[in-house]
Chain A
Amino acid sequence: MIKNLTLLLLIFLNSCGDSPFLEEKQGTPLIASEQLQSGLSLPGGLYNFTPKWRSGPNIGSESRIQILVTNSEDRPTSIEGDLTLMLWMPTMGHGSFPVTVEEVGVGLYEASQVFFTMPGYWDIHFQVTNGDDMQEVLWGFTL
């Protein structure tokens, strides 16, 4: 029985591809898709982010993202603290111009000045800062 389970586990593990997030810190939920099938959840599930492209994603010119933030009860909620989006290209080791984030309604945020300067793999870090505490979740995709 144990042998069979071990064999199944090995087959399952071998069927997984390389994660582009393997070098990211532990505990960060990993999602690699340009179009999200579900939202991004912070560790602990305090907030869930559902991003939607309002413009783009473009290379060179500005892209804009609308973000719906919901709580653990799946209701739109304003973030206690600050929401920051940071672009990062892990393969190149650099970021981009600072993204501007504005709350336009309860739980509804607009991110502007999103500039991807080259094609390739990008991460968008959704960071929530409250005092000294910072939590983040990544959205990764290839342009």
Chain B
Amino acid sequence: MKPKWRGPLVVIFNVKSKGIKMRTLFLVLITLFNVSLLAEECELKFTGTPYCASLEWTKGPLLNDTSAFTLTILDETTMMPISPKEEIDIYSWMIMHHGHNHGGPLFGFTEVSEGVFKVDEARFFMGGMRGHWEIRVDLKEGDTLISQIISKVPLK
């Protein structure tokens, strides 16, 4: 007679019966889950620095209208938001197919809490151009670029 499926507890119970502690299994699963979440939060790496960042679109991104996003800079070790000691610059950049790359309309940004930057009025357009837009974040000391992250704007 086929055994009836009684849900995950039975599976875990059976695993325990094979000598693996249930607590260990839970810990492994939770760790794997957290690692995958942290990887998403830390998708953009500032090379050569202890920082990474995540970018979340809160409006859009839209063509020919204003878009908004939140950029969070994290300490790679603690995964806590952090204000970099370097100056920060956030701007849009157009990569054109024929190579004449250039910036877009300037926008302001506000640090609303430690390491969390909000942009409310990013503007993207094509206007006959062939290419794609990027959001670029520079870490600078004076005029010296320390590190940069680039995130392609997923315009539809």
Contact = CB atoms under 8 A, between A and B. Distances in A.
A117 B64 contact: no
Specify the main secondary structure of chain B where it touches its partner: loop
A117 B128 contact: no
Between A61, A87, A93, A117, the greatest number of chain B beta carbons within 10 A of the residue's beta carbon is seen for: A117
B128 A93 contact: yes
Interface string B64-99: 100000000000000000000000000000100000
Interface string B122-153: 01111111000000000000000000000000
Contact of A94 (B103, B106, B124, B128): B128
Interface in A42-88: 60-62, 87
A98 B106 CA distance: 15
A71 B97 CA distance: 44
Contacts of B129: 94
Nearest to A114: B105
B104 interface: yes
B106 A95 contact: no
B128 A95 contact: yes
B105 A62 contact: yes
Contacts of A95: 125, 127-128
Contacts of B127: 87, 94-97
Specify the main secondary structure of chain A where it touches its partner: loop
B100 interface: yes
A118 B129 CA distance: 14
A61 B64 contact: no
30 contacts: A60-B103, A60-B106, A61-B105, A62-B105, A62-B106, A87-B127, A92-B100, A93-B128, A94-B126, A94-B127, A94-B128, A94-B129, A95-B125, A95-B127, A95-B128, A96-B105, A96-B125, A96-B127, A97-B64, A97-B105, A97-B125, A98-B125, A113-B123, A115-B105, A115-B123, A117-B94, A117-B103, A117-B104, A118-B102, A118-B103
Interface of A: 60-62, 87, 92-98, 113, 115, 117-118
